[in-house]
Amino acid sequence: MVEQQPATLDAVFHALSDATRRSMLRELSEGERSIGALAAPFSMSFAGASKHVKVLERAGLVRRRVVGRTHYCRLEAAGLAEAQGWLSYYERFWNRRLDVLEALLRAEDEHAEAGDEK
């Protein structure tokens, strides 16, 4: 299994647990955005959006830079890659399990077809 720092993964999955933050990450995948631009689709205040951004920052998913009074955010995808690495272990687990199930169902179908031919 992929070894990760549990606290880092906990922070990433906590950040991803909120639909607003997931939407913000999707928006940031298109490029850098101001916090005001991230807040606009949700009709939320700068302070509200900033709280969400702080959670994303703590998880290592977003980096913020300040120019004058404007706060700009950009996606830091490395944290997502770590989470994907953790999830891929379970993807392989389920793929193996489903491959076994598929083989059993095919064998059952073949057995049933052989019985129908008699």
The residues that bridge with 65 in the sheet, in sequence order, are 72
pLDDT tens sequence across 72-103 = 999 998 888 888 888 888 888 788 888 888 88
Report pLDDT digits (tens) over 7-59.
689 999 999 999 999 999 999 999 999 999 999 999 899 999 999 999 999 99
Q: pTM for the complete prediction? A: 0.71
Q: Measure the CA–CA gap between 39 and 49, rounded to whole angstroms.
A: 5
Can you give the pLDDT at residue 61? 95
1-118 belongs to CATH 1.10.10.10: yes
CA distance 25 to 13: 13
Tokens representing 8? Answer: 């880092």
pLDDT at 3 over 60: no
